[in-house]
Amino acid sequence: MEEREQPAEEKLREECGVIGVYDLDGNPVAGEIYYGLFALQHRGQESCGIAVSDTEGPKGRVNAYKGMGLCNETFTPEILEGLKGNIGVGHVRYSTAGSSTLENAQPLVLNYVKGTLALAHNGNLVNAPGLRRELEYGGAIFQTTIDSEVIAYHIARERVRTANVESAVANAMKKLSGAYALVIASPRKLIGARDPFGFKPLCIGRKDNAWILASESCALDTLGARFIRDVEPGEIVMINRDGIQSDRSMCLADPRKQARCVFEYIYFARPDSVFDGISVYHSRIYAGRCLAKDSPVEADLVTGVPESGNAAALGYSMESGIPYGTAFVKNTYVGRTFIKPGQSSRVSAVRVKLNVLKEAVAGKRIIMIDDSIVRGTTSHQIVRMLREAGAREVHVRVSAPPFLHPCYFGTDIPSEDQLIAHGKTVEEICTLLGADSLSYLRTERLSEMAGNLPICTACFTGEYPVAPPAEDIRGDYAR
């Protein structure tokens, strides 16, 4: 079996991407879900899956297919053709809790006394172990090690004593603590739900007579769908043959306690997405402008580390007047997951992904903008590559504050002893990177770049909106 790259590298990983489609005209939706997942592939590259059913067909018949790897590695035209149904959900996964195995791939499909549920989940629950033990002592037998199955079981259990599935979701949500965006297909309904803090994004779109729920608006653009609005924190939306409904009495959110993940704006989301009314691209431009105002330096060229550093680099250039240019060529055929060079190969994983344009940097003072520094190993190698290409000076600017604390809500920020900024000064980190200067985005700028929406900054400040779990929930990836 091929060895997949593990999260020991510099870049952060996100939990998942989800999508749901309900075509009221009865047209098959597997193809739409597939291309929507393609647009969300940046949110997870370990596994993917699609589950569909026919709202006019027999209840309980769900066609599902899941596999390890990327969407284009997993699905063929023949497989998609065999996934018949006009309602369904899809999922791309990167695991921050639960191991990377086919058993843990989503969507999860449950057959129970009230029918079927197909569920796709993005996020992490901080109380998943306790909820799981409660179910196990009640006789539940789990097929996976992921908290998504805990959510599915609680919804199924609540459905037995409620009038409809949306009420079951609302009751289950009262027990869940942490981050989640859910897309659920029942035999006749498509349901979307977002945690009361709004950690994870979820939006609503419409294409002809089909309704779409997706993690990011870029998926709607790919499908040629019209963006309707975001699902609000704590909101549950239900789509059936009569259209879309939202029962506000089920809304659990307290606007004073919302805590959107700020890394959607900094790194996770595609720059062409809009998250709760705020353009991700404009957020990154603004972060770059702030770096130029707060941490100016004389230089000849501003460049971004592809791809997530590019917009912030452009913002730095716009504010400082220093020319923006390309200093790196990214290998188009290397995604965020690839087979790591083995011990027998001396090839650097960073060099496989990036190469420096010597003609662009030789003899110049370079400002290198990156979205974050986690362990520092990759940043050190990139600085060295610029110097080897002839850069006279390398000034590193980071469009996020220093990471000081782990994340428990679906972002693979490791334990504190793995974070280069923990226990070190900026000057010490600069020396370790081999840079001429180093500056981070000021923490107070985060709210500004998120349009002053309430955000979670726990990985920078240690101020968690939900108490961290007593036991580590990040499984194999807490390293």
Query: What residues act catalytically?
Result: 16
CA distances from 381 to 10, 312, 375, 387, 429 (A): 11, 21, 12, 10, 14
User: Which residues does 453 contact at the CB level (< 8 Å), separation at least 6?
Assistant: 258, 260, 276, 278, 447
- Spatial separation of the C-alpha atoms in residues 475 and 479, rounded to whole Å: 9
Question: 353 is written with which tokens?
Answer: 């992904």
Q: Do residues 205 and 225 make contact, with C-beta atoms less than 8 angstroms apart?
A: yes
- Indicate the SS3 state at residue 329: strand
User: Residue 260 class from Cβ within 10 Å (0-12 exposed, 13-18 middle, 19+ buried)?
Assistant: buried
| Longest CA pairwise span in the chain (Å) | 72
CA dihedral over 39, 43, 45, 50, signed as positive or negative: negative
Q: Do residues 410 and 128 make contact, with C-beta atoms less than 8 angstroms apart?
A: no
Return the residue matching tokens 């790591």: 340
Q: Do residues 331 and 40 make contact, with C-beta atoms less than 8 angstroms apart?
A: no
Question: 129 is written with which tokens?
Answer: 């172990």
Residue-level length of the chain: 479
User: Which residues does 17 contact at the CB level (< 8 Å), separation at least 6?
Assistant: 37, 40, 41, 42, 43, 44, 91, 92, 122, 214, 215, 216, 219
- Spatial separation of the C-alpha atoms in residues 231 and 202, rounded to whole Å: 6
CA distances from 293 to 48, 320, 321, 389, 426 (A): 42, 8, 11, 28, 18
- Spatial separation of the C-alpha atoms in residues 88 and 445, rounded to whole Å: 40
User: Residue 242 class from Cβ within 10 Å (0-12 exposed, 13-18 middle, 19+ buried)?
Assistant: exposed
Q: Name the nearest CA neighbour of 286 among 259, 262, 321, 313.
A: 313
Exposure string (b/e) for 207-226, b if CB count within 10 Å is 16 or more?
eeebbbbbbbbbbbbbbebe
- Spatial separation of the C-alpha atoms in residues 61 and 433, rounded to whole Å: 56
